[in-house]
Amino acid sequence: MKKKIEGIIQESISVKSALMSAGPQLENIQKAAESMIKALKSGGKVIVFGNGGSAADSQHIAAEIVGRFMKERKGLPAIALTVNTSVLTAIANDYSYEEVFSRQLDAVAAKNDVAIGISTSGKAQNVIRAVALANDKGLDTIALTGGDGGGLAKTAKISIIVPSKSTPRIQESHVTIAHILCQLVEEALF
């Protein structure tokens, strides 16, 4: 079991090392932070969404922005479109699951907001639809994804693609990227 544990930790380290040298990913993380900073400085908010573990990551990002990351400071506006089960189930039931994020985003997104769609495969149609709608509304859009990025990476204006096909390793890297974004935002604004 110890060997297995060491192997999993090493795989996580390897994926993060590959992220640092995988094409434009560091530049895309910087662009994402700059987009979030611009939105928050201009009175906008951060809107985050994804399914399953990516839903949890969405909530985590929103919590770090609204609450605090490392500094005592005032709260910043951010929402995760994954938290209202009544809204999610009503939209899924009355329309389709593919519209659970786009319908919410259409209702709450405003000028100067930034939308962050998270999908480890980049294939989640409800995330892709919401990012496409955010583009149509003139928002900056950011994708956190993995593998080849799927349709989500092609749809978002800024795509951060973790170079792995392993969902757990992609999710671990997404948490690291989220923490980097939150730290950069906090340092820039406070």
Structural domain spans, the chain: 2-189
* Helix, coil or strand: residue 124: coil
The candidate with the shortest Cα–Cα distance to 181, out of 83, 60, 93, is 60
Tell me what pLDDT residue 140 has.
98
State residue 47's pLDDT score: 98
- What integer pLDDT is reported at residue 141 of this predicted model? 98
**2-189 homologous superfamily:** Glucose-6-phosphate isomerase like protein; domain 1 (3.40.50.10490)
Residues of the chain with pLDDT under 70: none
pTM for this one? 0.96
